Amino acid sequence: MTQLNSNEASVAPNPVKIARRGQDLYNRSIRSQVETRDNVGKIIAIDLTTSNYEIDDNLLEATDRLQSQFPDAIIWAERIGFNAVYAVGGTLTKVDLS
């Protein structure tokens, strides 16, 4: 499992490590449960210390709900069914759901 342990969670984690763990946790454990036609395009915020998550149309709503349950959460976010949360100067690419 790719959860952060308590020692890692107590110090400021490396952004590259957060990204790697977030993507790994999403792809291995969560993606198959949440990547449905109803959820495509929504945001999933994942707490890397507990593997709990929240889904919403709005990034702030999802992260706020997750952080209210887990105040020390280390949060990774994805746009379900896409390769990025937001596109800046580019386009989002939809992933194949088949």
The share of the chain scoring above pLDDT 90, in percent, equals 66
Structural domain count of the chain: 1
State how far the Cα of 92 lies from the Cα of 98, in Å rounded to an integer: 18
Q: Over range 32-61, report the average pLDDT.
A: 96
Q: What is the reported pTM?
A: 0.77
Q: Over range 81-93, report the average pLDDT.
A: 72
Comparing 24-38, 53-67, 76-90, the range with the smallest average pLDDT is 76-90
With a cut of 60, say whether residue 79 has pLDDT above it.
yes
- Report if residue 92 sits inside a domain: no
Give me the domain span that covers residue 68.
6-79
Residue 53 amino acid letter: Y
For tokens 């937001």, the residue is: 86
- Report if residue 1 sits inside a domain: no
Q: Over range 51-63, report the average pLDDT.
A: 97
**75: helix, coil or strand?**
strand
